[in-house]
Amino acid sequence: MKLKINGKESEIRSAPDTPLLWVLRDELGLTGTKFSCGVAVCGACTVQVDGAPVRSCVMPVKALEGKSVKTIEALSPDRSHVLQKAWIAQQVPQCGYCQSGFLMAADALLRDKGKPSDADIDAALGNICRCGTYPAMRLAIHQAAEMKA
């Protein structure tokens, strides 16, 4: 099976029912996407499929044929993406484990809504952060929206 991941077509050798998360991490070496709960609740494994945030820990690769997958590695190799800059400026990460999932959800949000409200942000970021950095994330998303404008 072939999948388009971060703009590049990749040959996948895993079984069709293998969750995308394990194909990304174990087969393709894209370890920015994290495993946490394994049941699509926490959001640490969030990637984008055709631009929409999805939980990769429960998404079988057979469901992705003909679709485009974007992981955290595609934002930028040098932290130059507006969200990464804002995340750093607002000192969002504490432990940092969940941040790639939040960044992927925030990236989709900013693409869909250029200047999201706090309510838009809260609705789009259904991920769990044990460190509780939600207020800093909101500030960072507003900052990134201004930087994009």
Q: Is 18 left (phi over 0), alpha (psi -120 to 50) or beta?
A: beta
Q: Residue 55's pLDDT is what? A: 98
pLDDT band at 148 (very low <50, low <70, confident <90, very high): confident
Beta bridge partners of 4: 9, 68
pLDDT in tens, 49-64: 999 999 999 999 999 9
CATH number for region 82-148? 1.10.150.120
Q: 73, 32 in Cβ contact below 8 A?
A: yes
Q: Residue 78's pLDDT is what? A: 93
pLDDT band at 124 (very low <50, low <70, confident <90, very high): very high
One fold for 2-74 and 82-148:
no
Q: Which CATH superfamily is domain 2-74 in?
A: Beta-grasp domain (3.10.20.30)
